Amino acid sequence: MAGTVTLSEKGRRDGLLCYSIDWLSDASGVVSGTISQIEGTIERIVYLPNTESGTQPDDNYDVTLADENGLDVLRGTGANLDEANASQVVTTGGDASVLPYATCGLLTLAIAGAGATNTGTIRIYFRR
């Protein structure tokens, strides 16, 4: 694995779970790891770059979370992320291009272009 990944449960309410993925890139600006706890229908994804000088990701870094078929359960929403501003995707509602995504099984996190030893967080809200 490249870089480090730390997964923690951030909360539960009315069947909705939130998991936080804290990451630290290696010297080449990449992160990889596996996650087995996120199973259900993903309803919201939040990308939070660290905004502190010296550990802020490089601009336009990319995040994917692939299922056992190699398909990105983030549906491409982690491409070209901003280094300074949080962003989110809500999978229910008006955006027909981002439908709720069901996942079950091992997921593989990959982050590229983040710059050396930089950090950030991804929050995933899902229903089981």
Cβ burial, residue 128 (10 Å; 0-12/13-18/19+): exposed
> So what's the pLDDT on residue 75?
83
For residues 3 and 25, what is the distance between their CA atoms, to the nearest angstrom? Answer: 4
What domains appear along the chain, each with residue ranges and CATH number?
4-127 (2.60.120.380)
> So what's the pLDDT on residue 47?
95
pLDDT tens, per residue, the chain with 128 residues = 589 999 999 988 888 999 999 999 999 999 999 998 889 998 889 999 998 888 999 999 999 999 999 999 888 889 999 999 999 888 665 555 566 778 888 999 999 999 999 999 999 999 98
